[in-house]
Structure 1
């Protein structure tokens, strides 16, 4: 089930967080060319999140391009009444896997750096995570994003199965 993309102009104030900046070197006949790549996460703190990779000759331009890319690929994330996720899920991207577990009120965001940036900007306040496999920051952010994209609300599950929400929740 593919989630529909969000128009960033319809959202309120968007916050952005730079996860990582890398200097990339290309060796050419005349010497070395330096470029920068910036991995940026953008969210409104209310269930909408996106991430993007920007590449440019200067750092501020790379960050700006990353923010633009993130705004083009925003999704809405289902949250429950305690600002956690409705169910546990594993997000996979490449060789990176991120286990996302729902948590009770007051737990906080227990996550590593790249996953924490995604979850905080998304507005999830109580969650436990574990990064499995690769620790490449780009892939960990993408795996967290894929995990959040795969979350379904009890209403969505009930509709898919043709049952009532009470039957699903138990």
Structure 2
């Protein structure tokens, strides 16, 4: 009878525990994007196999970063991706951006060009429209604020110097 119970278990039985353990052991190194998405989705779906949804999201958007940055409307087109999934993905993206921003704000932005580029790349690389952003620095060249001054189209953003100076 015990053998019958074992054969009836789904193929993904124990997958969550194994994936969590692999992630914690490796610190995330070598874990594919779809498995990172699975780990995020574990918080939304208490039970069941989330691998098909994670792979569908990657297939729709192209990469983990693109999934996290995709508009809610695009994510909602993927079967199984409801409001809770979209919220979890958006919270994950926001947490990452805040981490990068905090890291950039704790170091001189100008003297550490790579940290500034990493922050800007993370904040802007998956945006569907161009933005003109203003980084406000203190006299130690640390970021005080980062604001999107203007938003444009896919390939054009109008910039009005008067508005930039007024905001500064």
Does TM, scored on the shorter chain, surpass 0.5? Answer: no
| TM superposition score category, shorter chain reference | under 0.3
Higher strand share: 1
Larger Rg: 2
Higher helix share: 2
Q: TM-score, normalised by structure 1?
A: 0.21
1 or 2 for the larger relative contact order (CA 8 Å, sep ≥6)? 1
